[in-house]
Amino acid sequence: MKERTTYSGAADGGVRDLLRTEGLSLLAVAVALYGHIGGDWRVFALLFLVPDVSFAGYLAGPRVGALSYNVMHAMIAPLVLGAAGMAFGSRTGVSLSLIWLAHIGFDRALGYGLKHAKGFGFTHLGRIGKLATES
């Protein structure tokens, strides 16, 4: 009898590796561009972890936590911010966008993907933490 597998909604195998490599590439390019525009590295260090303040949403439960985390860890907002910064000649907007994108790339490279409402450990890149070892 053929064994049934269930689909978790998370990338695995080569697809997961590709997505993590994309994250590492995003981090490298954002950092390189930040350096290229002459960004202040003290500001970079100060703001790099700011998107993780979104973890506080988990105090209101996994659904709100996933939403708040995903809003701050999807690339849409920083890309729009960067485009607006370029369109309006705002170096601050471009700098903030690059720091934010670098953070997202860093998280993705480490395997921290966008969250599912089931809980923090369920991501689009697979399970993390204690859940990663469970079947």
Tens place of pLDDT per residue across the chain (135 aa): 454 444 455 666 788 889 889 999 999 999 999 999 999 999 999 999 999 999 999 999 999 999 999 999 999 999 999 999 999 999 999 999 999 999 999 999 998 888 888 877 777 777 766 555 554
pLDDT of residue 17: 86
3 in a domain, yes or no?
no
129 in a domain, yes or no?
no
130 in a domain, yes or no?
no
Determine how many CB atoms are found less than 10 A away from the CB of residue 23: 21
pLDDT of residue 50: 98
Number of domains into which the chain is organized:
1
CA distance 22 to 101: 12
Write down the pTM of the prediction. Answer: 0.85
Helix axes 76-87, 91-109, angle to 10 degrees: 160
Domain of 31 in residue numbering reads as 13-124
User: Residues near 17 by Cβ (< 8 Å), separated by ≥ 6?
Assistant: none
57 in a domain, yes or no?
yes
110 in a domain, yes or no?
yes
23 in a domain, yes or no?
yes
pLDDT of residue 19: 86
